[in-house]
Structure 1
Amino acid sequence: MEFVLEEGKHLSESCSNLILPALSIGNVGQLAVDLLVSSTGAETVGYLDDQFVLPCVGNDAYRPSPRGDLALPLQAYESSSSGLTLIQQRSPVVKGMMVEYAKNLADFAAASGNKHVVVLSALDFGRLQRIDMSSGPQIYYLSSTSVDGTDDYCEQLGWKRLQEYNPAQRGWKYLSSLAEGDVGDENNFTFEDDLEEEDYYPSLPFAALFSCFKARGLKVTCLLCYCSEGDNMADAFNLADAACKFLRLNPDNVRGDDGEKWIVPFSWMTVYGPPPDMSMF
């Protein structure tokens, strides 16, 4: 993976927290990163070029009057006022190469001096075992601070650890061995095999990122929410808000227009296309 700085830019040592999405159902992690980039006033500092990420190109996603800046598959942003580095991923990883991509990203984060990585992703609502909407949409987490994935601060925020995380289960063990580069003959299981129910979560992108960042010695926390495909903007607001709470971001540094908390990216205006022609009704 190659990191290319924009002309005249440099990575700030003060931006030690890294936020990035893991691609999943509804693209909620990417939408949440969009909100954070737009609302913290983060500036583009460069882009990452990785052979395992499919190419794509588009216009500036955040400004209503684009200056000709291109949006690329892996773009890095910094918000000095919030102490954040953000990476937006706009295209999928080549099939079967997720762990290799995660290793490359972990190497970049370690070399850049990032101390804490926050991964934002969604999970399939159809797999949620117990539904409790009494307190609104629930945030789940997975942390590298303890062997069982728990984190005291996340618990204080009222979040629940991902119940399906079991470091002794074969899928998680296999993923950990891949991340550490220590795959012995005893690990004859692969994610290309017929997966059992318990193998589903370790086969997802967020799990590969979690394992590789952890293996690299970085503190990593995954913030997760369950959702279904459709209009997932509300889920993105929820996940972005969780990231702000978790990192204790100053509300004055995350502010939208007209007193709103968030600045909605300009590109969201065309996410679902133009409204229907009402004359047909």
Structure 2
Amino acid sequence: MLFLKEKRSTLDLTEYTVILPSICVGNAAQLACDLLIASKKLRRIGSLTHPALIPVYGPSAYQHEPNEKVSSCELYEGAEDKLLVVQFRAPWIARHTGSFQQELVELLKGARRVVILSGSFGFERRVIEESPWAYRASDNFKEIHAAQLGNAELIKWKEHTGEAIYGGGNALQLYKAFDEKNVAVMLLFRYLLEGDNSTDASLIVKELNELCEDFLQLRSGSGGDSSFKLTVPKSWNLLFGNDITELLF
């Protein structure tokens, strides 16, 4: 399942934070991981393969690694910040999803914490005035981030208690699988609509950074200059395909 570069034989995630996207409505979570990888200039250290993953292969998605290739599932590391981002480039095949989730949890359960990003259909937000954000966190994750999650001024999210996230893909199943292994895990998702979700992706990263700036460290400058800055990956140039040829007209 695991293929690592540079002759590495094992994936040591001691004290690491793992960011994991769920394939959700608008691909917002995957786009958010794209922003993280490009902004942090994370290194591709390997890939995952499994019957649940539709084979995909293509050119580099990021300008900081122009010679790399992309596949169905890739691992990107920021060794200095002890950050690992998993990126999916294809949907999962339903009949193999269960075994893939089990193997994925076994692979990543040694991490200090796991953050799952996802999205849900905007029309599922029953009260318009409510926050567009919702989260689910394990008890041990709440202990680690008690100050942030308990800060009423900072936390704008509603705690999700339901048994389904419509449009959220396998986010909730992944969350429960990590929680069963006693991994500190949080699921963060935003209510959104299909279409151009690049803005939603930016907002997801920004919200996550406000909670967990200690490991994302996406603020630039020092002192009073702490502006939030993201790098857009070059793969977004053709986010919706090539331009329409003038020959059609």
Q: Same fold per TM (> 0.5)?
A: yes
Identify the residue that residue 231 of structure 2 maps to in structure 1: 263
Letter in 1 for 2:196: D
Matches for 1:33-182 after TM superposition, within 5 Å: 33-63=33-63, 66-67=66-67, 69-110=68-109, 113-132=110-129, 138-145=132-139, 152=146, 153-156=148-151, 157-163=154-160, 165-166=161-162, 172=163
The verdict on how the C-alpha distance between 1:202 and 1:107 changes in structure 2, with shifts beyond 3 A counting, is farther
Of 189, 195, 205, the residue aligned with 1:230 is 195
- Structure 2 distance, partners of 1:22, 1:265, is 19
User: 1:205 offset after TM fit, Å?
Assistant: 0.9
Provide the secondary structure at the position in 1 that maps to 2:75.
Answer: strand
Unpaired runs of 5+ in structure 2? 221-226
- Structure 2 distance, partners of 1:202, 1:280, is 35
Identify the residue that residue 223 of structure 2 maps to in structure 1: none
Alignment length (residue pairs): 237
Indicate conservation of the 8 Å contact 1:40/1:253, yes or no: yes
Indicate conservation of the 8 Å contact 1:40/1:82, yes or no: no
Deviations 1:205-263 (A, max 9, x none): 101110111112211101100110001010000001122222224776565xxx87011
Indicate conservation of the 8 Å contact 1:46/1:77, yes or no: yes
Of 180, 199, 207, the residue aligned with 1:215 is 180
Q: In percent, how many aligned pairs have the same letter?
A: 24
Indicate conservation of the 8 Å contact 2:19/2:117, yes or no: yes
Deviations 1:110-149 (A, max 9, x none): 2xx312000011100011111127xxx7321111117x9x
Identify the residue that residue 247 of structure 1 maps to in structure 2: 212
User: 1:161 offset after TM fit, Å?
Assistant: 3.2
User: 1:102 offset after TM fit, Å?
Assistant: 1.7
Does residue 22 in structure 1 map to residue 19 in structure 2? no
Indicate conservation of the 8 Å contact 1:22/1:206, yes or no: yes
Identify the residue that residue 240 of structure 2 maps to in structure 1: 272
The verdict on how the C-alpha distance between 1:200 and 1:39 changes in structure 2, with shifts beyond 3 A counting, is closer
- Structure 2 distance, partners of 1:200, 1:210, is 12
Indicate conservation of the 8 Å contact 2:52/2:100, yes or no: yes
Provide the secondary structure at the position in 1 that maps to 2:29.
Answer: helix
Identify the residue that residue 188 of structure 1 maps to in structure 2: none
CA RMSD of aligned residues (A): 3.2
Deviations 1:171-191 (A, max 9, x none): x4xxxxxxxxxxxxxxxxxxx
Provide the secondary structure at the position in 1 that maps to 2:94.
Answer: coil
Provide the secondary structure at the position in 2 that maps to 1:218.
Answer: coil
- TM value normalised by structure 2: 0.82
Indicate conservation of the 8 Å contact 1:120/1:224, yes or no: yes
Provide the secondary structure at the position in 1 that maps to 2:55.
Answer: coil
The verdict on how the C-alpha distance between 1:270 and 1:64 changes in structure 2, with shifts beyond 3 A counting, is farther
Bigger radius of gyration: 1
Indicate conservation of the 8 Å contact 1:103/1:213, yes or no: no
The verdict on how the C-alpha distance between 1:37 and 1:14 changes in structure 2, with shifts beyond 3 A counting, is farther
Identify the residue that residue 189 of structure 1 maps to in structure 2: none
User: 1:97 offset after TM fit, Å?
Assistant: 3.5
- Structure 1 distance, partners of 2:111, 2:174, is 15
User: 1:76 offset after TM fit, Å?
Assistant: 0.4
- TM value normalised by structure 1: 0.74
Indicate conservation of the 8 Å contact 2:24/2:167, yes or no: no
Letter in 2 for 1:43: R
User: 1:96 offset after TM fit, Å?
Assistant: 3.8
